[in-house]
Amino acid sequence: MRVWKFGDDIDTDQIIPAEYLTTGDAAELARHAFAKLRPEFSREVKKGDVIVAGANFGCGSSREHAPRALMGAGISCVIAKSFARIFFRNAINIGLRVIEADARNIEEGDEVEIDFERGVIRDLTRGEEYSFKPLPEFMQKLLDSGGLIAYIKNAKSDSGR
């Protein structure tokens, strides 16, 4: 997984500017992710890439469009020192993995590997490891299902057997 590096206080308007909120379609939103902050992002991001950021990632408005744009772009996980609570919950609800960890030494373009169960991020480029507290089992199940709606649908279909 290749890293895209961002700093502190990346707000939802930087993730997906307000003028592009006319749709909820993840693929369309992805075309405009970081349009003003990192115009090359939507052209160069690859499926499975990871974002590493500083503190307060996803601050600003509570719109679900921001994590949806990142998922549509192929981002597999966002690692940040801290998250705005509503962004964190929106990400979990739609199935975007988020990790709270201070991984500031990971640099743009580094290759990382993440063990979500053990709580370990390996920077394969630098040979460093970072630990994080794994999400509770219930949240892991939500993510493994593809988010809250998929989890509920699966639970309903399982109970109908």
Question: What pTM, to 2 d.p., does this model score?
Answer: 0.92
Does residue 6 have a pLDDT over 70? Answer: yes
Q: Rounded to an integer, what distance in angstroms lies between the CA atom of residue 62 and that of residue 89?
A: 10
Q: Rounded to an integer, what distance in angstroms lies between the CA atom of residue 89 and that of residue 142?
A: 11
DSSP E strand boundaries for the chain: 3-5, 50-53, 77-80, 97-100, 112-115, 120-123, 128-131
Domains annotated for the chain, with CATH where assigned, are: 3-136 (3.20.19.10)
CA dihedral 58, 114, 116, 72 (to 10 degrees): 50
pLDDT tens-digit map of 61-75? 878 999 999 999 999
pLDDT at 161: 54
pLDDT at 155: 78
